[in-house]
Amino acid sequence: MDISSLGEFGLIRRLTENISLKNASSVKGVGDDAAVLKYNKKEVLITTDLLLEGIHFDLTYVPLKHLGYKSAVVNFSDIYAMNGTPKQITVSLGISNRFSVENLEDFYEGLKLACEVYGVDIVGGDTSASLTGLCISITCIGEVEKSKVTYRTGAKDTDLICVSGDLGAAYMGLQLLEREKTVFKGESDFTPDFTGKEYLLERQLKPEARKDIAQFLAEKEIVPTSMIDVSDGLSSELLHICYESKVGCRIYEERIPIDYQTAVMAEQFNMNLTTAALNGGEDYELLFTVPLALHEQITEMKGVSVIGHICKQSLGSALITRDGNEIALQAQGWNSLS
Amino acid sequence: MDISSLGEFGLIRRLTENISLKNASSVKGVGDDAAVLKYNKKEVLITTDLLLEGIHFDLTYVPLKHLGYKSAVVNFSDIYAMNGTPKQITVSLGISNRFSVENLEDFYEGLKLACEVYGVDIVGGDTSASLTGLCISITCIGEVEKSKVTYRTGAKDTDLICVSGDLGAAYMGLQLLEREKTVFKGESDFTPDFTGKEYLLERQLKPEARKDIAQFLAEKEIVPTSMIDVSDGLSSELLHICYESKVGCRIYEERIPIDYQTAVMAEQFNMNLTTAALNGGEDYELLFTVPLALHEQITEMKGVSVIGHICKQSLGSALITRDGNEIALQAQGWNSLS
């Protein structure tokens, strides 16, 4: 169905007609000049992400449903990185004329699924034509108790550096998709073989935010001294924490968590595995610091690795390689503007 | 200066380094995974607007400083339309490589000026490369007392229909700029003559949100039964109120407020003046309804016109022309998707 047959308001009604509000803080959602929310005792968190076709995603191999899911999840990840809980999103779309109503319904299906899984309400947005590619802007609103807000600024000398899950897999998934796209060109009956690489594709196409880590920290009553989510690469994020906290760090190459599929793929691509894990990005894992005294509690946490420690700023930020060398960390992660 | 010489984080630091937070509800602004806000007793309002080059603005004649100002103001207008006060914005930009750091500083200058005038804090955002044109996504957060929230849903039979300021001028300003652009093509020493049309240009290039009307309503302790801002044209907005409130309306052609510059321009362009005022859009005036009993108080309000009244839904929504004919209102206003 052609979008122009519905017009802006018809399209919005069609995409949002089945949306019901689940959260007590969502007073009024889609359908007025602004959404109305009620946050009584908790602090309100606001984060926003802009995703542009050709820069952040390639519709040649990204299904719209997955894109909808991922667009929501990357925002939730920012809220968890503040030690908060995502509660609402607004969704703005710029749509070029090659999209059908069904395409947008696919996108919304992914969006709604993510919202269902993470307990988030869609409360508003804006829909417009775009002269060129698809443009997605999502703003996420979350809540957090005042005593639990976790900034990038609180890391202290001797704190442990912890990271959830494993790193570099989403980047390898992207390399794989890009390679198959190149191979595919001009062959209409080409079916790429992704056997044994499912994890890499899933990490790239349908990432999850670490809701479970936030819950675990809450249960154990641990408030990290600093926290950030790994979107642009471990190295870049760690340097953000060090810069904002005015500290340095040492991390150990051998402790960086890497999945075996990531390692196999790096071998096949003849890429340095540690570099991929440090700079790949789009992992959406949580990187955080805790006081040294919590060492035992943290090592009990399933799916969390202690990869190093914070030190004085004057000592700089470095990786200790397997053979004991120190290499200064550099922000070589993903940066669309450089 | 080339943007790539700064990179994403350098650019963000440069654009936001002088930003200080003015509002008590702004706890933490730019520089972490999310902004932190504190809204204790009031409801939180969220609205978002996407502005795309070639669809919503033409950089041939829109200076970036004006664009920054307008991008912020159109969001403030949505918050006033809920009877609230704007407090924070987040700003996401997709930037093509023809922009310099100085261009973005111009844009931010306009943005900061609007925030200063309206008492709003810039608390976050996202900055990315764009393969094509400039892409601007702004989300505005505001506050309102629970008892004062004004939806589109509360208009009742016999309510008065009121509108602030005058209508159609921004649309005429756009026609004027488009005409001069056409005339200009190919003539490098061409200087357009806008004498006597300054008001039309100002309404198009540097619109204001009706903060004063919101304040007046608060002082007089008037809570409108419904309210919306006029962004897509009076006709379209009035139909939104009627649809959401399940009512009809009658408005009178002779009562629609129109500036004389708008009238002169319509004459020159051989356009129907009432059609321009009904469907032009981008007026950013407030359209609201109040109980009939408030007639005297409303007529005392400077800059507010009573243009008609609400009636039963079965009677439909119509314009009464100067010669007494009834014409059904149609949503012919601006709609990028049809």
Q: Which of A88, A132, A338 sits opposite B133 (nearest CB)?
A: A132
Average pLDDT over residues B210-232: 95
Q: Contact, A329 vs A235, CB < 8 A? A: yes
For position B12, what pLDDT does the model report?
Answer: 87
Cβ-Cβ contacts under 8 Å, B129 against chain A: 52, 55, 336-337
User: Has residue B312 been placed in a domain?
Assistant: yes
- Confidence category of residue A58, pLDDT binned at 50, 70, 90: very high
Query: Is A67 contained in some domain?
Result: yes
- What is the per-residue pLDDT for A187? 67
Q: Is B108 in the same domain as B193?
A: no
**Same-domain pairing of B99 and B179:** no
pLDDT for A17 equals 86
Interface-testing mutation among B38, B50, B87, B236, with chain A (most A C-beta atoms within 10 A): B50
List the single residue in A27, A93, A151 with the smallest CB-CB distance to B43: A27
Does B333 fall in a domain? no
Residue B209, pLDDT above cutoff 80: yes
Q: Considering only CB atoms, which chain B residues are within 8 Å of A287?
A: none
The answer to the question of residue A153 being in a domain is no
The pLDDT of residue A338 is: 63
For range A125-132, the mean pLDDT: 88
Interface of B with A in 273-332 (CB under 8 A): 331
Candidate from B40, B130, B142 with C-beta closest to A52: B130
Q: Nearest to residue A169, comparing CAs of A271, A57, A76? A: A271
Percent of chain A with pLDDT over 70: 97
Instruction: Specify the pLDDT at position B183.
Output: 75
Shared domain for B46 and B72, answered yes or no, is yes
Domain, as residue range, for A139:
3-148
Same domain, B169 and B85: no
Average pLDDT rounded to a whole number, residues A175-181 = 89
Q: What is the pLDDT of residue A188?
A: 65
Share of chain B above pLDDT 90, in %: 80
B178: which residues sit within 8 A by CB, 6+ positions away?
none
Same domain, B210 and B260: yes
Domain boundary among A148, A169, A195: A148
Q: How far apart are CA B99 and CA B96, in angstroms?
A: 6
Specify the pLDDT at position A12: 87
Q: With bands split at pLDDT 50, 70 and 90, how would you rate the model's confidence at B18?
A: confident
Q: Does residue B282 belong to any structural domain of this protein? A: yes
CB interface of A with B, residues 147-206, below 8 Å: 149, 151-153
Average pLDDT for B90-119: 95
Q: Is A335 a domain residue?
A: no
Q: Is B7 exposed, middle or buried (0-12, 13-18, 19+ CB in 10 A)?
A: middle
Please tell me whether residues B178 and B103 are part of one structural domain. no
Q: Is B158 left (phi over 0), alpha (psi -120 to 50) or beta?
A: left
Are residues B225 and B133 part of one domain? Answer: no
| A216 and A111 both lie in a single domain | no
Angle among Cα A13, A19, A24 to the nearest 5 degrees reads 135
Range 195-224 of A in CB contact (< 8 A) with B: none
Return all residues near A230 (Cβ < 8 A) that are at least 6 apart. Answer: A163, A167, A237, A281, A283, A284, A285, A286, A287
> Do B40 and B173 fall into the same domain?
no
Report chain A residues whose CB lies below 8 A from the CB of B48.
Answer: 90, 92, 124-126, 137, 139
pLDDT at A334 > cutoff 80: no
pLDDT tens-digit readout, A242-272: 999 999 999 999 999 999 999 999 999 999 9
Average pLDDT of the residues of chain B: 93
Average pLDDT over every residue of B169-178? 94
Tell me whether residue A155 is in a domain. no
Residue A186's pLDDT band, with cuts at 50, 70 and 90, is low
Strand order in the sheet with A43-52: A121-129, A85-95, A135-144, A43-52, B35-37, B26-28
Asked if residue A142 and residue A170 are part of one domain, the reply reads: no
Per-residue pLDDT, averaged over B267-287, amounts to 94
**Confidence class for position A332, pLDDT limits 50, 70, 90:** confident
Q: Quick one: pLDDT band at residue A182, thresholds 50, 70, 90?
A: confident
Q: What is the pLDDT of residue B186?
A: 65
Mean pLDDT of B187-193: 69
Over residues A23-49, the mean pLDDT reads 94
CATH number of the domain within which B266 lies: 3.90.650.10
Q: Are residues A218 and A124 in the same domain?
A: no
pLDDT band at B182 (very low <50, low <70, confident <90, very high): confident
Inter-chain residue contact A34 with B78, CB threshold 8 Å: yes
pLDDT value of position B187: 67
In a domain, A292, yes or no: yes
Residue B322: CB atoms within 10 Å = 9
A168 and A199 co-located in one domain: yes
pLDDT value, residue B190: 67
Rounded Cα–Cα distance for residues A27 and B43 (Å): 9
The percent of residues in chain A predicted with pLDDT above 90, rounded, is: 80
* Overall average pLDDT of the A279-285 stretch: 94
Instruction: Provide the number of structural domains found in chain B.
Output: 2
pLDDT at A231 over 80: yes
Q: Domain with A99 in it: what CATH number? A: 3.30.1330.10
- Nearest by CB to residue A36, choosing from B45, B95, B132, is B45
What is the Cα–Cα distance from B319 to B326, expressed in whole angstroms? 6
Does the pLDDT of residue A134 top 80, yes or no? yes
Helix axes B64-80, B101-118, angle to 10 degrees: 30
Contact B82, A131 (CB under 8 A): no
The count of C-alpha atoms lying within 13 angstroms of the C-alpha of B331, restricted to the half-sphere facing its C-beta, is 19
